[in-house]
Amino acid sequence: MKDNNDMPGHLARRFQQIAVAVFLAEVGDAGFDLTPVQYAALATIKANPGLDQVTLAGLIAYDRTTITGVIDRLVQKGLMERRASSRDRRARELEITDDGRRTLRRITPAVESAQRIMLRGLSAKEGDELMRLLRKAIAAGNELSRAPLREAQT
């Protein structure tokens, strides 16, 4: 049997632990209370106004049944709102609020700092290569995920 440090799953889990801890520390030090998933949801809705929550879940590769809780928290924080869909009365469209836009603008330096810290043990070239390899491995395994990444419908 291999040592845990020779197993990609173990290393991916450890890197995820580090990534979340660094994100929360940087964002918290900047005075914000957002998780990485909440940030991803908010940024995605800003880029794609009027999304429904199922589409949002696909765009950020998040489980469709638990995205509701993420949205609920963002609505409670006043960063996003739900509106009745003009296309489907059963669906709700998601819109970022003015406070949500301000938050994204102000939180960006902390998020960028967190990304740099996550890769601080690597040269710029190594960081680029790690990102390339992560994207390649994720693309190859995307459909194996319980929450696969989905492209936006045009």
Burial of 98 from C-beta contacts in 10 A (0-12 / 13-18 / 19+): exposed
Instruction: Name the residue type at position 98.
Output: D
Which tens digits make up the pLDDT trace of 73-112? 999 999 999 988 777 777 789 999 999 999 999 999 999 9
- Note the pTM of the prediction, 2 decimals: 0.89
Angstrom distance (rounded) from CA 126 to CA 7: 20
Comparison of pLDDT for 17 and 149, the residue scoring more: 17
Which tens digits make up the pLDDT trace of 54-67? 899 999 999 988 99
Domains for the chain: give ranges and CATH numbers. Answer: 15-144 (1.10.10.10)
Angstrom distance (rounded) from CA 57 to CA 35: 15
